[in-house]
Structure formats: structure tokens, C-alpha cells
Amino acid sequence: MKILLIHNYGQYRGGAETYLESLSLQLEKKGYKIIKYFKDSRKIDLIFNKIKVALGLFYSTKTKKELEELIKKEKPDIAQVLNIYPLVTASVYHILKSHKIPISQRIQDYRLLCPKATLFRNGKVCELCISKSFKYPSFIYGCYQKSRLASLIFATAFYFHTIIGSYKKIDKYIFPTEFVRDYYLKYTKVEKEKSVVIPTFTNINESKVDKNIRRKNDHFLYFGRLSEEKGIIQLLEVFKALPSIKLVVIGNGPLMNKVKRFSSYKNIIVKGFLARNNILKYIKSASAVIIPSLWYDVMPNVLIESITQGVPVIVPRFGVFPELVKKHQGFFYEQNDFKSLKSLIFKISNRKKVLSIIDDQFIPERHISKLTKLYKRLSSQN
């Protein structure tokens, strides 16, 4: 079977890219031929390019030309679509359907509900756009790309594609959790029979890292995107008030400069971006991994990578976390209650040993088996 992977890389590497690269590797190991159609938002620099991208949100002739040439050459059996904005665009669905290629769309954010994709504004969850076909609140507040004009263009383009039925051409929506699927079923026109829940996986156990690393339990760890909705600044404020407890921060993102300022505190170590093998060393030796999300996280790789290694997580009691974190896999604190988080961290730091159950539900074999069965079913229907 030939599988066409379609993805638009964002400005910063995140969970979508980690999943994409792991998925491609696992499918190739199983003998599937992978055809790649990737775009990179980091190449959008000049004003002229930005205007072209804005117009392309309605219909991308460049995508049409490039993709049709690729399809004619490779003749894929199915398309696995991840992120399509801003360079691939929803026009991809029409192109694929014109060639009778089944479409599987992985949902990894809230883009079909919110132009910003995070349901997050001014430090809290924002649901102003979720029930509106035309997402006009987004340009009132300049949510997309922090620009009212960009938000207006995106909202109009999204409405255009809704009207012409672009999203109805998707054969199957793949959701990582029940929480996210239920949310989409409630606020969009996605049909339940077109949806399936297949949790994300991690191939972290296959990474080349010293398996004899011992749990030092000498630090807490945050790793991931450094952005507002992730709660990183609030977490740093907590550790600022816990000078005897060490926090290691790994990652990159729009808040990097703000995060670096906390390096002046001796107990806060900001590592920035690190290679995967180096991250694993910090995970394995941590007392716990902290995920202080302020938004409706979809399914953080941080979480599954930690509990797969038997490292406990500290998470807020809302959104996907009660669904994903089982007993003895982590600790809960109430959402936005950073005083209780501070007390919890202090309590855990004074324990001699912190145990967590190792979970194998996120292993690659389980995910790939479910996914390829879906691919075969979809391709047989066309």
C-alpha cells in the first residue's frame, strides 16, 4: 500500500512533527511505501509571500499543481492528512477526491473550531467561535497570527470552505482521545460514523539511550513548546518561590526570551531545544514531569513519553488528563490553582522515591495496527 502523508510544518517544532516523523518511520518498517507532501511555514518571510499565502487560503493553485503531479507519478492508495494551514490549505481535499483517493484526517488541535487552533485567549480557555460558522470574534480580537487582518482573511476562507463542503470530503477523522472527539461532535458537523479514536503513540523505547540510567529524583522536568497556553510562565513563578527544588526546562517557542529570564534563579535550568536522546536522559532521571496546561490539550506527547518510561506526571484535573492518567501514574492539582501545585511539588520533592506504573498502551504496534486496518478499510471502499 502507498500512503501519501500531507503536512504543513509550523514555525516551531511540536507534537505534530514528532508524531509525523515517528509515524513515517513505523509505517516504512511495516513495508508500506510513504509518499511525502510537506510544506514549511518558516519559509514565509517576505510581504509578497504573505499576500500569496493569504489568497491561497481560499484555493491554492500551487498545491493543486504540485500535488497532482505527485499523485500521477506515485498513485497513492490513501492520504493521511495532518496540518494543512497555511500553505497546503483545504483545497487539498478537493484535489484528493478528484483522484478518488480516500482521506484520513488526524485531529491534533482545534483548528476547525478556532482560527488560533488552541481555544485559548488572554490566559484562559476561549470558546467564542466554536458554535459560529463564520468565526468573526477571531478578527475582533486578532487571534490568528496576532493580526485582525489575518484573522479576517482566515475566518472568511474557513467559512468559504465550509460553504463549498471541503471538510465533508474527509472520509475519516482520527481523534487522539474521547474528550477531543466528544468536543468536536458537540460543536461541529463531524458525523460520529466518520470518527474514530486512535491514541497517539511513542517510539521512545526504541531511541538510542543508556537503559541503565538511574532515577536520581533530583529535579522536576518541563519539556515541550514554550507558549502561553502551556502554562510555562506560571510554572516558573511557582519554582521561583521554591528555591531549594530544581526545575529543568527543555524546549523552544514564542516565549523563549521570557523563559530565559528565569535562568537567573539557581534552581531553574533552561536548556532550550535538545536532541531527543538527551531529553530522554532528563525524563528518566526526573522526580516527575510537570504538564501545567491552561488549555484543552489534545494529547501531549510529553505525557505519553513520560508514563511509558514509568515517570510520574503532574497534571491539572481537567480536559483530557483524567482520561489519560491512571491511578499511580501521576498527581492531579485543580486547574489554575498554582498554590496547590506548589504544595504538591514540595510534597513530592520530600519523598524518597516516587513510583509510577509503566504503561504499554501507547506502544507503536498498537497504534499502527489500528491505523493500517483503517487504511485498508477506506481504500477498499473506493
Residue 245 and residue 339 share a domain: yes
Residue 317 and residue 285 share a domain: yes
Residue 98 and residue 19 share a domain: yes
Query: Does the residue 357 lie in any domain?
Result: no
- Structural domain for 330, as ranges: 204-349
- State the Cα–Cα distance between residues 249 and 259, nearest whole angstrom: 9
Cβ-count burial of 145 within 10 angstroms (0-12 exposed, 13-18 middle, 19+ buried)? Answer: middle
pLDDT of residue 48: 42
Residue 160 and residue 116 share a domain: yes
Residue 214 and residue 184 share a domain: no
- Find, among 201, 65, 66, 41, the residue nearest to 117 by Cα: 41
- Lowest-pLDDT range of 142-146, 166-170, 216-220, 377-381: 216-220
Please check the confidence at residue 54 and state whether its pLDDT lies above 80.
no
pLDDT of residue 229: 94
DSSP run (H or E) holding 288: strand 288-290
- Please state, for a pLDDT cut of 90, what percent of the chain lies above it: 70
Strands 2-9 and 78-81: parallel
What rounded mean pLDDT belongs to the chain? 90
pLDDT of residue 353: 61
- State the Cα–Cα distance between residues 143 and 232, nearest whole angstrom: 20
Write the CATH number for 243. Answer: 3.40.50.2000
Residue 321 and residue 189 share a domain: no
Cβ-count burial of 313 within 10 angstroms (0-12 exposed, 13-18 middle, 19+ buried)? Answer: buried
Q: DSSP letters along 85-138, please?
A: TTTT-THHHHHHHHTT--EEEE--S-TTT-TTSS-EETTEE--SSTT-SS-THH
- Find, among 225, 179, 284, the residue nearest to 17 by Cα: 225
Query: Does the residue 355 lie in any domain?
Result: no
Residue 238 and residue 121 share a domain: no
Query: Does the residue 288 lie in any domain?
Result: yes
Please check the confidence at residue 100 and state whether its pLDDT lies above 70.
yes
Query: Does the residue 310 lie in any domain?
Result: yes
Residue 149 and residue 223 share a domain: no
Residue 251 and residue 133 share a domain: no
Predicted confidence (pLDDT) per residue in 312-323, tens digit = 999 999 999 999
Report residue 205's pLDDT band, with 50, 70 and 90 as the boundaries.
Answer: low
The answer to whether 201 and 370 have CB atoms below 8 angstroms apart is no
Query: Does the residue 159 lie in any domain?
Result: yes
pLDDT of residue 88: 92
Query: Does the residue 354 lie in any domain?
Result: no
Please check the confidence at residue 115 and state whether its pLDDT lies above 50.
yes
pLDDT of residue 310: 85
3-state SS class at 7: strand
Domain total in the chain: 2
Residue 150 and residue 125 share a domain: yes
Predicted confidence (pLDDT) per residue in 74-95, tens digit = 999 999 999 999 889 999 999 9
Predicted confidence (pLDDT) per residue in 263-313, tens digit = 999 999 999 999 878 888 899 889 999 999 999 999 998 999 898 888 999
Q: In the predicted model, what is the mean pLDDT of residues 138-154?
A: 92
pTM score over 0.85:
yes
